[in-house]
Amino acid sequence: NPRNRKESKPPQLPLVDENGSLNLERKGFPKTFLYWGDMFHTLVNITSTKFTIVLFIAYFLLFVVFAVPYYIEAIVHNSIPGIHSFVHAVWFSVQTSMTIGYGGDLTPVPESFITNAVVALQSVTSLLVAYSLLGVVYARFSRPTRRATTIVFSKKMVINNDGGIPSLSFRIGNIRKHQLIEASVRMLVAFNNLDSEDEDDSVFRFINLQIRGGGQLFLALPCIVSHAMVFGSPLHNLDEEKMRSSDMEILVLLEAVDSSTSSKLQARKSYRPSDIKINYRFSSMVHRMPTGRRCVDFSTFQNIDPISENSPDYLSSFNMNPVLVETSSYEDFS
Q: In the complex, what is the shortest distance from the CB of residue 40 to a copy of itself, in angstroms, rounded to a whole number?
A: 5
Q: How far is CA 74 from CA 19, 21, 163, 277, 287, in A?
A: 56, 55, 87, 85, 75
Could you tell me which of 223, 140, 147 has the C-alpha nearest to residue 178? Answer: 147
Could you tell me which of 136, 170, 168, 135 has the C-alpha nearest to residue 267? Answer: 170
Among 52, 56, 57, 127, binds a copy of itself (CB under 8 A): 127
Could you tell me which of 220, 326, 229 has the C-alpha nearest to residue 278? Answer: 229
Among 6, 7, 32, 141, binds a copy of itself (CB under 8 A): 141
Tell me if 101 contacts K ion by CB under 5 A.
Answer: yes
Choices 7-15, 97-105, 149-157, 179-187 (CB under 5 A): range interacting with K ion: 97-105
Tell me if 242 contacts a copy of itself by CB under 8 A.
Answer: no
Characterize the bridge pairing of strands 216-217 and 248-258. unpaired
Tell me if 188 contacts a copy of itself by CB under 8 A.
Answer: yes
Q: In the complex, what is the shortest distance from the CB of residue 322 to a copy of itself, in angstroms, rounded to a whole number?
A: 17
Site string for a copy of itself, 40-79 (x = CB under 8 A): xx-xxx--x--x---x--xx--x---x--xx--xx--xxx
Among 7, 105, 199, 309, binds a copy of itself (CB under 8 A): 105
Could you tell me which of 182, 190, 194 has the C-alpha nearest to residue 209? Answer: 190
- The length of the chain, given as a count of residues: 334
Among 53, 207, 320, 324, binds a copy of itself (CB under 8 A): 207
Could you tell me which of 175, 171, 275, 285 has the C-alpha nearest to residue 224? Answer: 171
In the DSSP assignment, the letter for residue 282 is E
Residue ranges in 143-182 that form contacts with a copy of itself under rule CB under 8 A = 143-150, 175-179, 181-182
Site string for a copy of itself, 222-241 (x = CB under 8 A): ----------xxx-------
- Separation CA 209–CA 134 (nearest Å): 42
Among 106, 308, 309, 310, binds a copy of itself (CB under 8 A): 106
Give me the residues that bind K ion (CB under 5 A), please. 101
